[in-house]
Amino acid sequence: MIREVAFDLLDRVQSDDAYANLLLPTLVSRAKLDSRDAAFVQELAFGTIRNWSLYEKIIELASNRKIDDIEPAAQLVLVLGVHQLLDMRVPSHAAINESVNLAKKKASKGSVGFVNAVLRKVSLKDRAEWLESALVGASGIEALSIRFSQPVWIVQAFKAALSSRGIGDDLQKLLASNNMAPRVSLVALPGFCKPEDLHADARDENPSPIGVAVSGNPGGIELVQKGFARVQDQGSQLVALALAEARIETEDRNWLDVCAGPGGKAALLAALSLTSGTSLVANEVSKHRADLVSKALKPLGTFELRTSDGREFGNQDKRYSRILLDAPCTGLGALRRRPESRWRRTTDDLVDLVKLQRELLESAWKALEPGGVLAYVTCSPHLSETTAQVSWAQGKFKDKLELVNANSILNSINPHLGLDEELFTAQLWPHVHGTDAMFLALMRKSVN
């Protein structure tokens, strides 16, 4: 049963573009799995997704067939089997036998013997030996792409982003961190609870002063059940805190979250707005995601919610002292939590996303009160979505735009972040800060 759940998850990710982290709880609940079996399914499915392209190469080597010549259902059974053999603590005989049983249920009758033969051959070598075989003839970026199972264009993007920050030698560390399951982090919403109220792990200092890391299912924590604490990456917490901390040169009255779905950062901004006596407008273009924002904000009080295109705010009369634009992006900064994104996104996506980001940025800038601050945020370090957009904005808005030192503000929030204050835009990294690779630019509009 548990391997069938993992199979169904991979099948939906591949055929329906489902998000693994969102679909997993539904499948686990439907199968009535206990916490131990649910953890096994998550390790099996997410680990397989992270290493998918490498496993396909190994299957091709072991079978002497191109992966596309193998029945799709048998492909899924095989990649799940390879992960158990090479990267999990599953005995070889169990991994093979359970995979054969899974093939009997999910694949054609003719594929059962093929699955058995391929996995038996895979079991004759360990991961390092298969990796060595897969790397024959590859070098440079291509070799890194194979080794860490991340597309060439993404590896190139990471290399460029790291080099722009003077840490190009960290490339392999970053790629490795993208294949490691992240710790579960909670945010203690200010005014509703404190970090010490949560059942935190006694580990290294947390990146966010209102964040904690926990083990097990956070749904069992009472403050989470009440909505006063939330599951949230600590990088997301930091960028929201930085916006609230930035100095403005106007009356601090109205805040706006332009792209609020699914509501994590909106909830934190809502809590912060209550403590500062300001008002928050949370906007989301998608009805489904707007409903999630409404659900996220409901335990905290009453806030203005809108379901509209964020590109319309610039044409309205109301102006805002602080604006968060968490722009739609490739999501390359969250590959640890959304491993399927590496296979779903392509360079073609960048064209439309960059255009949309600029349109949203221009609209948010027009909606910004003179003296106010706009936070431009992406969960991606790709230069086209980050510093290139800031340069575009500086050229577009010229002397009206003052770039605020985001690194200085973040270091004041947590000095242990050690961000380079010679650079004004901030880039967090999973292998350095233990957060998603969040990008932050803070732009203040001149009052003159």
Known active-site residue 193: no
Radius of gyration of the chain (CA): 23
Which three-class secondary structure state does DSSP give residue 102? helix
Do the Cβ atoms of 372 and 422 come closer than 8 Å? no
Query: What amino acid is encoded at 142 in this protein?
Result: E
Do the Cβ atoms of 424 and 349 come closer than 8 Å? no
Residue 240 is encoded by which pair of tokens?
Answer: 């929201």
Query: What amino acid is encoded at 225 in this protein?
Result: Q
- DSSP string over 255-279: EEETT-TT-HHHHHHHHHHHHHT-E
From residue 103, alpha-carbon distances to 4, 61, 98, 408 in Å are 10, 20, 9, 56
CB 420: neighbour CB atoms within 10 A?
A: 13
Residue 91: cis peptide before it, omega within 30 degrees of 0 = no
Detail the DSSP E strand segments found in 168-292: 184-188, 211-214, 229-231, 254-257, 279-283
- Give the relative orientation of helices 2-16 and 92-106 as an angle to the nearest 10 degrees: 60
Residue 380 is encoded by which pair of tokens?
Answer: 């991606």
Residue 205 is encoded by which pair of tokens?
Answer: 């200092």
- Annotated catalytic residues are 379
